[in-house]
Amino acid sequence: PTTRSFQSELCSLFGYPVAENPTQVMIEAAFRDLGLDWRYLTIEVQPNHLENAVRGFRAMGFRGGNCTLPHKVAVIPFLDELTPAARDIGAVNCIMAHENRLIGENTDGKGFLQSVQAIDTPTDKRVTLLGAGGAARAIAVELLRARVGHLTLVNRSVERGQALAEHLNRLFPNRVTLESWNGDYPIPADCQWLINSTSIGLFPNVSERVPVVRDSFRPDLLVCDVIPNPPMTAFLTEATAAGCRTLDGLGMLVNQGVIGIKCWTGRDANPEVMRAALERVFSE
């Protein structure tokens, strides 16, 4: 006779397409390291099946999960509740099941904040954020909640930049300005953190340059990138050559996983185990 349970606890990632997303590798490495009999499944969900997929998630007792493009906004009507951050960001990338309710959270910005806080304090910092897409929106909200002093948004498309700046100024009055991005952007003399949250540099476009005036990097700047693959982007290589401190996008991804696992299991995962699992994948 055996008293062993053959029923693993389940988490999932919903996306479309999703096959190239390596989140499963780092989350399952953390589950194993914690000695948990939990699985994290990468599941392709077509947009027209999202509602049924969330029904299935409930019916099969999934404990939590992530959702990625194109579901981050579309999933909201199928959930029971949003965290304040998810509400402010207007998108969900993390779902937790709690007493038969599904709660939508957004860990994109929190993952970034946690990794940057390991090197510097956000309070009163003057931050320049390149990009105005989903990642920028999440990072901006969390940085403003963490009391950065001023945020300058810089985006190629003026309409998208304006829409984000207006949204942020409604939530955090007078703390955000928008600058246009024509040609190489000169980093402002009073900027302390410069963050690339555009998709420039993501594999396979690894040699694409973030258009920033090369001579305007200063050694006292902290330069951050959201691109997880490859972690050492051309942008960070330029910043390193200029003597800046840098932060890569792998830390943001790993910390999102740590936050997700805490939400689902209540346990503190080991970020080093997770980062090593991802690094193995990216070096395959």
Which residues are designated catalytic?
Answer: 72
- Rule CB under 6 A: is residue 199 a binding residue for ligand NDP? yes
- Residue-by-residue DSSP string for 134-168: HHHHHHHHHHHHTT-SEEEEEESSHHHHHHHHHHH
Residue nearest ligand NDP, CB atom distance: 133
Structure tokens at 274: 């997770």
Rounded to whole angstroms, how far apart are CA atoms 232 and 249?
Answer: 9
Min dist. Cβ of residue 135 to ligand NDP (A) = 3
Min dist. Cβ of residue 72 to ligand NDP (A) = 8
How many residues in total does the chain contain? 284
Q: Which helix (H) or strand (E) holds 64?
A: strand 64-67
Spell out the residues 6+ positions from residue 253 whose beta carbon is closer than 8 angstroms to its own: 23, 26, 111, 228, 278
Q: Of 27-35, 132-140, 170-178, 269-277, which part binds ligand NDP (CB under 6 A)?
A: 132-140
Angle at which helix 108-117 crosses helix 249-265, to 10 degrees, equals: 110
Does residue 265 come out as left (phi exceeding 0), alpha (psi in the -120 to 50 range) or beta?
A: alpha
Between 55 and 119, whose beta carbon lies closer to ligand NDP? 119
Q: Of 2-10, 38-46, 57-65, 129-137, which part binds ligand NDP (CB under 6 A)?
A: 129-137
- Rule CB under 6 A: is residue 131 a binding residue for ligand NDP? yes
- Rule CB under 6 A: is residue 105 a binding residue for ligand NDP? no
Tell me which of 15, 64, 228, 271 binds ligand NDP, using CB under 6 A.
Answer: 228
- Rule CB under 6 A: is residue 11 a binding residue for ligand NDP? no
Tell me which of 140, 252, 259, 261 binds ligand NDP, using CB under 6 A.
Answer: 252
Which spans of this chain sit near ligand NDP (rule: CB under 6 A)? 108, 111, 131-136, 155-157, 160, 197-200, 202, 226-228, 249, 252-253, 256
